[in-house]
Structure formats: C-alpha cells, structure tokens
Amino acid sequence: MIQQEIVQYASALRKNNDLKFVLNQKQKGEWIKKQKSILGENSYEFNDIEVVESLLTGVYDSWFYDFMFAPVITQDKNGGASVTVTIKLFVFDIEDTQYTTRVGIATEYVSNIKMLQLATPKAATMALKNAAKKLGELFGSSLNRGLEDSELPTVQVDKTDKQSREETYKDVINNCKTKAEVDGCKYMLFTPALKALAAKKLKTLKS
C-alpha cells in the first residue's frame, strides 16, 4: 500500500531540486528495517515494498515494471523448488525524453513445489526492490554496502540448473539498451562467459 507521507516527502523533494540531487539523498532511518544475516554475526538492511513504491510514485512522473522472461522454476532432489524472476523497471522524469530502465532479479526458495504460487509474487517484489536500488541512494543503493555477499539472504539453486540460468542471463544482457542496464546485471555474472559478454556489450553502448 502506498504511504502518502513518503509520497509527499519525495514529491516535495523532487519539486525543489534536480533529479540527480534527489537520487543522492540518504534514506530516512524509519524507512529501513534490519534482520539478522545468514551467519548471524551482522544484520542486513532492507526496505518494505511499500516504501519503494511510495518513493517511485513521489519522485517520478510515472513508473511501471514488466517481466523480461517467464519465471524460471527449478526443483531440487529433496522436493524443494525455487523460482527466479527477472523484471525491468521503467521510470519517467520530466527532465528526460524517454524512460530510464533498471533490471532487477530475485530468487525465492520453498521447501515444497506446491508453494510456488506464493513464492512467485514474493520473488517479483524482491526483484522490483533490487531494480529500484540501482536508481540511487534514495532507493537504498548503499544498504548493506560492506557486508559480504555470503552473509546476505541468498538461495542455493540445484547445480543442474546452472546452464539454464546462464542462458537466461545471456538474454538479459543482450537485451540491455544502456550501460546502466548492463551495470545492473553485475549480480548475474556468475560465470566467465557472462562476465565476458557483459564487457563486450558495454563496448557497443554509448551511454
């Protein structure tokens, strides 16, 4: 649910400042929640989706997101399953002549494949938050900076799925239209081939 006080704050901030200044503003403390990391030695920070959607609504003239692919579903040998969702977030600001885009990806694991109906919307929500973070500080780009990736909440997908994920991520990179979109794919680059493809794609883009 959109939180009107956040919308009003972000809208007023944008009305009185240029977009770059707005996106570089730090988040308010009350927007940030904390949860114990996987190792239990630290806490990782996150925003509820209501905060993210409210900021998007307040800062931008319009925004929406779309699924880049059908959700990728895999099942492990123990009966568990995971769903990976890749979305593209579109935001429009009056200063620009076209939509700015960011790619977001997230995987949600469930212990029983029958629960996938619940996992898919959650993965989509996480993917949207992942994409929004790449817009700037106001959307949480600095959250968890300095925390080792191994401590963040992740999902271990069965090894047999590695090749299919790699092919999916190749399509994501090849469909990038800007350098910012390619940069947003850095969390997908889990093989040398993907890293090489991203570097090659960057050389073909002017901005």
d(CA 167, CA 169): 5
- pLDDT value at residue 35: 78
Give the mean pLDDT of the chain.
Answer: 81
- pLDDT value at residue 151: 43
d(CA 182, CA 169): 11
Q: What angle in degrees, to the nearest 10, is found between the helix axes of 192-204 and 162-174? A: 10
Is pLDDT above 50 for 148?
Answer: no
49-99 tens-digit pLDDT:
999 999 999 999 999 999 887 788 887 777 778 888 899 999 998 888 889
Residue 38 lies in domain: 4-204
Number of domains in the chain: 1
Cβ(127)–Cβ(105) under 8 Å?
yes
CATH of the domain at 159: 3.30.390.80
Going by their DSSP bridges, the two strands 43-47 and 100-110 should be labelled as: unpaired
d(CA 30, CA 60): 22
